[in-house]
Amino acid sequence: MTPWEVKGKIDYDKLIRDFGTQYISEELINKVAKYTGAVHTLFRRKVFFSHRDFNWILDKYEKGEKFALYTGRGPSGHTHIGHLVPWLMTQHLQEKFGADLYFQMTDDEKFLHDTNLNLKTSTGFTYENALDVIACGFKPEKTFIFSDIEYAKTNYSLAIQIAKNITYSTVKSIFGFNDSINIGMIFFPAIQAAPCFLPSILKQKKIPILIPAAIDQDNYWRGIARAVAPKLGFYKPAQIHSKFLPGLGKWGKMSSSEPETAIFTVDNPEIASKKVMNAFTCGRSTVEEQRKLGGQADICPVYQYFLMLMEPDDQKLQKKYSSCKSGELLCGECKANLSEKVKKFLIEHQRKREKAKDNIYDFMLRD
Amino acid sequence: MTPWEVKGKIDYDKLIRDFGTQYISEELINKVAKYTGAVHTLFRRKVFFSHRDFNWILDKYEKGEKFALYTGRGPSGHTHIGHLVPWLMTQHLQEKFGADLYFQMTDDEKFLHDTNLNLKTSTGFTYENALDVIACGFKPEKTFIFSDIEYAKTNYSLAIQIAKNITYSTVKSIFGFNDSINIGMIFFPAIQAAPCFLPSILKQKKIPILIPAAIDQDNYWRGIARAVAPKLGFYKPAQIHSKFLPGLGKWGKMSSSEPETAIFTVDNPEIASKKVMNAFTCGRSTVEEQRKLGGQADICPVYQYFLMLMEPDDQKLQKKYSSCKSGELLCGECKANLSEKVKKFLIEHQRKREKAKDNIYDFMLRD
């Protein structure tokens, strides 16, 4: 185990085996670096660790065939900093490869899934979340953010072409539906797959697609988009998969449904910094014990915040890792440090987020 | 049995019992006549024979609350004259009650249902069929024809509100789906129900809806639109149901899948008139027998063409009925007469249909 690799209760190796994806190898990382210069932190530290056809995307690029990026967000509430991990990678790829980005806000699915959510609230969060996307530094002329509900004209005609080739049996087995599921949720996988082919439709030529997303999204692309692509005459979408930023409580990915353990991008920075101070760590029971045995950076969620988002400098991260493991750094001090970094991060993000309000419509795709 | 009532292999009384709809009574017809003046042929002859909440629609109208009309067409091919029956009633109601008409072209459903149909052909027929609708004499300022595919922006956001309240179990039992059905077909009932609430959305107030349609469409409205209306705060759509115009072959409704027994609005009038001459009738085996026993107008499809579309004059229809029953009128002569009428009808319809090309876009609803 190296200090560069996220581990935790989630067995990522098992996910790779179960889903049948490939590890992002050193060789592949070096191939990317030919175009990006320095290797991105999230590749270097294996936060993006798995892929499908990423090598194929790079081969296409080498031959002069540019790819488009597609990722998205289910706008059921405010963005938390865990959501930013794939977006920051996406921004990096847009910048280095000059790629167009299609960003889907699945406000329809959130509305269909959540009994208490109305349509207006759902599309409202689309715009709130779009500010966070824009704050990541995407280029307006190459970024097309759309609400499923508002962009339905184009989306629906593409989705029915996909839907025609997908049976209820298929979505039932992929998503574990039973017959009491509502018929909107059943159709939704076709809507979710549509952006894989949208660039090809809009540009009227086959365009390779790369999806950076957390690994739990893989089943959408494997079972739906990749399955129908050949039938519809499109390329299968390629993917790179990230690990999850853990929540501040005991293990598990950061989740909006546990607000006290999630850091939202709109949180007051002081309050967010207090949440960090209350975080669960993998320190020992007593100071004495910790001095003697050392901390457990390898499995500690607080350490993962530094690794995934808050400490881009490898030397400093290495130092943090060593001083935790040696028992020199205690959890309180470590959290105080993270808390400061989170505060600064949020102040800066919120400045950019506020600025995004001036030109949000430059980023929104309409039909 | 009166000469005014369509009968045939379809047991319409059983349909009323099975579906739980109401007969359109003499009393109700007289109530309509208060607003329309003369009773429309299709009511008088019980071609429109069944309803749900039609009395409620008239009560609302009496109290100053105007209703909107909604009907539609699955544009899988050219219009045949059987399709015109509900449209002519709809046109009459628009004229007499000053009602807006929302006319849905379900090109999405036709595309999803028919393996061999592509998207372009499907929307192409939307425009072809719209010409026939317009030729029926609707008012452009009160008529809103839309393609499901092209009007998806508004339609989809309404459909997901419906879909959220409809489970797979429900559509499975209504439409007899099994798990190998494609997920577009599963969602489609929500799209089909959406226009019931569209006028209320567009006008931002609750608007009563009356759907004139053939009775086989009832399950859409009963199981879907009427079921969800109260949950979404809309009125349940009212309906009036028509019988089917039979095909020219042996019994059964006119169907596009048997082109030699269907009269299409775009048929060359000479060819259509030949199709009529080849029609199946309920005449006797020999001339002698027919002179002796008389024909069977009550159950003869050819007679039904006069009754439903081609002979608006009650006295002339009565005469035709009597002379058939008495054995005076033989099938050949009767068909020659119908064939002339069909030819004239098509020439006139095609003239109006051609003229509709000049202003089709005045009728199309876009979002």
pLDDT 10s digits, B246-282 = 888 876 677 777 788 899 999 999 999 999 999 999 9
pLDDT, residue B4, reads: 57
Choose which CATH entry (3.40.47.10, 1.20.1250.20, 3.40.50.300, 3.40.50.620) describes domain A12-247: 3.40.50.620
Q: Do the Cβ atoms of B276 and B338 come closer than 8 Å? A: yes
- Tell me which amino acid residue B255 is: S
CA distances, B267 to each of B14, B78, B87, B274 (Å) = 35, 9, 19, 11
Mutate to test the interface with A, among B112, B116, B156 (most CBs of A within 10 A): B156
B238/A contact by beta carbon, under 8 A: no
Phi, psi torsion values for A120, nearest 5 degrees: -65, -45
**Cα(A185)–Cα(A173) distance, rounded to whole angstroms?**
14
- The pTM score is 0.93
CA distances, A343 to each of A277, A311, B173 (Å) = 12, 13, 55
A117/B contact by beta carbon, under 8 A: no
Which residues of chain A have a CB within 8 Å of the CB of B171?
183
- pLDDT at residue A113 above 70? yes
- pLDDT at residue A316 above 80? yes
CATH architecture group of domain B12-248: 3-Layer(aba) Sandwich (3.40)
**Cα(A194)–Cα(A162) distance, rounded to whole angstroms?**
7
pLDDT 10s digits, B338-366 = 999 999 999 999 999 999 999 999 999 98
pLDDT, residue B260, reads: 84
User: Strand B238-242 relative to strand B209-214: parallel, antiparallel, unpaired?
Assistant: parallel
What is the crossing angle of helices A331-359 and A119-135, to 10°?
A: 110
Between these two residues, B254 and B23, which has the higher pLDDT value? B23
Q: Give the percent of chain B with pLDDT over 90.
A: 87
B183/A contact by beta carbon, under 8 A: yes
pLDDT 10s digits, B140-191 = 999 999 999 999 999 999 999 999 999 999 999 999 999 999 999 999 999 9
Sheet holding A238-242, edge to edge: A22-23, A48-52, A238-242, A209-214, A68-73, A101-105, A143-147
- pLDDT at residue A220 above 90? no
- pLDDT at residue A7 above 60? no
Q: Give the percent of chain B with pLDDT over 70.
A: 97
Between these two residues, B256 and B229, which has the higher pLDDT value? B229
Radius of gyration of chain B (CA): 21
**Residue B270 neighbours by CB under 8 Å, 6+ apart:** B343
Find the mean pLDDT for residues A232-260.
86
User: Strand A101-105 relative to strand A68-73: parallel, antiparallel, unpaired?
Assistant: parallel
Mutate to test the interface with A, among B107, B117, B148, B160 (most CBs of A within 10 A): B160
Write b or e for each residue in A13-27: b if 16 or more Cβ atoms lie within 10 A of its Cβ, otherwise e: eebbeebebbebeee
Q: Do the Cβ atoms of B182 and A165 come closer than 8 Å? A: yes
pLDDT, residue B217, reads: 86
pLDDT, residue A166, reads: 98
Which residues of chain A have a CB within 8 Å of the CB of B169?
179-180
Strand, helix or coil at B284? coil
pLDDT, residue A259, reads: 81
Q: What band does B107 get if pLDDT is binned at 50, 70 and 90?
A: very high
**Cα(B322)–Cα(B217) distance, rounded to whole angstroms?**
34
Q: What band does A277 get if pLDDT is binned at 50, 70 and 90?
A: very high
Written as six digits, the tokens of B225 are 């639109």
Q: For A111, which of B111, B160, B167 is closest by C-beta distance?
A: B160
Which residues of chain A have a CB within 8 Å of the CB of B156?
108, 149, 152, 155-156
Mutate to test the interface with B, among A110, A115, A147, A156 (most CBs of B within 10 A): A156
Candidates B348, B68, B111, B93; CA nearest to B210 is B68
- Tell me which amino acid residue B275 is: K
Q: What band does A2 get if pLDDT is binned at 50, 70 and 90?
A: very low
Q: For A168, which of B156, B161, B186 is closest by C-beta distance?
A: B186
Q: Give the residues across from A102 on adjacent strands.
A: A70, A144
CA distances, B270 to each of B81, B84, B259, B263 (Å) = 15, 20, 15, 11
Query: What ranges do the domains of chain A cover?
Result: 12-247, 259-351
Q: Do the Cβ atoms of B134 and B363 come closer than 8 Å? A: yes
| Cα B1 to the center of its chain, rounded Å | 24
Q: Do A167 and B155 touch (CB under 8 A)?
A: no
What is the crossing angle of helices B183-193 and A152-163, to 10°?
A: 140
pLDDT, residue A1, reads: 37
Looking at domain B259-351, its CATH superfamily turns out to be Tyrosyl-Transfer RNA Synthetase (1.10.240.10)
Q: Do the Cβ atoms of A238 and A266 come closer than 8 Å? A: no
Q: Do the Cβ atoms of B169 and A121 come closer than 8 Å? A: no
- Tell me which amino acid residue A125 is: F
Residue of A nearest to B150 (CA): A153
pLDDT, residue B3, reads: 52
**Cα(B295)–Cα(B297) distance, rounded to whole angstroms?**
6
Candidates B102, B107, B106; CA nearest to B145 is B102
pLDDT 10s digits, A125-175 = 999 999 999 999 999 999 999 999 999 999 999 999 999 999 999 999 999
Residue of A nearest to B156 (CA): A152
**Residue A194 neighbours by CB under 8 Å, 6+ apart:** A155, A158, A159, A162
Candidates B49, B15, B13; CA nearest to B29 is B49
Find the mean pLDDT for residues B311-328.
96
Q: For B184, which of A112, A149, A187 is closest by C-beta distance?
A: A187
